């Protein structure tokens, strides 16, 4: 796991995204879900592991309903500092658009060997976030990974995506775009995305 792919895709003279250098200092593992209005709205689900953020793009976003399986396409590892990035990636750059820290917190593996679980394609873990809590699983299939909520006290049929504000700033995507010179109209489409 390294940041070569991440850095190759970005021009750090242009984008405000972090280049990545620091390693995580605390013993706890962080997770973040970034709501990203790029060419298409999606949610980037990231788990800190071995000094980087393992990353999956979840087009429909996470669901608290254990019956719902959400496709999660694994993308390049991101720097741990990326978990604090909320702002605007300039149009024309990789992932151009507005990024919100939709949820963040810590995570714990529910398995003894995370590397073996990732290799096998089934990682069970617990999230301690503001919006996402309790037990989850990522399962690899032929089409990509699936992100699924386990049955527990945090499972729900409520649509958690209706909680559309930043976990760190309470802003909407349109607010973030406005304050960072982004495309406010495009960002507002993400705020008004149809409920699924």
Site membership for Mn ion, residue 36 (CB under 5 A) = yes
- Nearer to Mn ion by C-beta: 30 or 55? 55
Please report which residue ranges of the chain form alpha helices under DSSP H: 4-8, 114-120, 173-179, 184-191
Q: Which stretch binds Mn ion (CB under 5 A): 33-41, 157-165, 169-177, 185-193?
A: 33-41
Q: Residue 66 CB, nearest distance to Mn ion (Å)? A: 25
Residues 104 to 133: which contact Mn ion by CB under 5 A?
Answer: none
User: Under rule CB under 5 A, how many of the chain's residues touch Mn ion?
Assistant: 2
Cα 20 to Cα 1: distance, rounded to the nearest angstrom: 13
Site membership for Mn ion, residue 86 (CB under 5 A) = no
Residues 39-68: x where in contact with Mn ion by CB under 5 A, - otherwise, as a string: -----x------------------------
What does R_g of the chain's alpha carbons equal in angstroms?
Answer: 16
- In the chain the first and final C-alpha atoms are separated, in Å, by 34
Q: Residue 169 CB, nearest distance to Mn ion (Å)? A: 18
Q: Where are the beta strands (DSSP E) in the chain?
A: 29-37, 41-49, 52-58, 69-79, 87-89, 97-109, 122-128, 133-141, 144-149
Q: Residue 150 CB, nearest distance to Mn ion (Å)? A: 25
- Nearer to Mn ion by C-beta: 3 or 117? 3
Q: Residue 63 CB, nearest distance to Mn ion (Å)? A: 18
Cα 3 to Cα 11: distance, rounded to the nearest angstrom: 14
Q: Residue 95 CB, nearest distance to Mn ion (Å)? A: 5
Q: Which residue has the tokens 């972090």?
A: 18
Q: Which residue is nearest to Mn ion (CB)?
A: 36
Contact 155, 64 (CB under 8 A): yes
Q: Residue 157 CB, nearest distance to Mn ion (Å)? A: 27
Contact 100, 61 (CB under 8 A): no
Site membership for Mn ion, residue 171 (CB under 5 A) = no
Q: List interacting residues with Mn ion (CB under 5 A).
A: 36, 44
């Amino acid at each position: 796991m390294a940041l070569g792919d991440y850095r190759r895709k970005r021009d750090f003279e242009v984008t405000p995204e972090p280049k990545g250098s620091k390693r995580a200092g605390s013993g706890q593992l962080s997770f973040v879900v970034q709501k990203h209005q790029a060419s298409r709205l999606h949610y980037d689900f990231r788990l800190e592991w071995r000094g980087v953020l393992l990353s999956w793009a979840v087009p429909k976003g996470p669901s608290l309903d254990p019956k719902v399986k959400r496709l999660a396409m694994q993308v390049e590892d991101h720097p741990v500092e990326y978990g604090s990035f909320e702002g605007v990636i300039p149009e024309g750059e990789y992932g151009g658009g507005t990024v919100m820290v939709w949820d963040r917190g810590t995570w714990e593996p529910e398995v003894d060997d995370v590397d073996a679980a990732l290799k096998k394609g089934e990682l069970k873990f617990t999230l301690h976030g503001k919006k996402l809590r309790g037990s989850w699983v990522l399962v690899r299939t032929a089409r990509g990974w699936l992100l699924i909520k386990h049955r527990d006290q945090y499972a729900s049929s409520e649509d958690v995506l209706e909680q559309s504000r930043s976990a760190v700033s309470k802003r909407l995507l349109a607010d973030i775009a406005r304050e960072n010179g982004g495309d406010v109209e495009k960002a507002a489409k993400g705020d008004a995305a149809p409920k699924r």
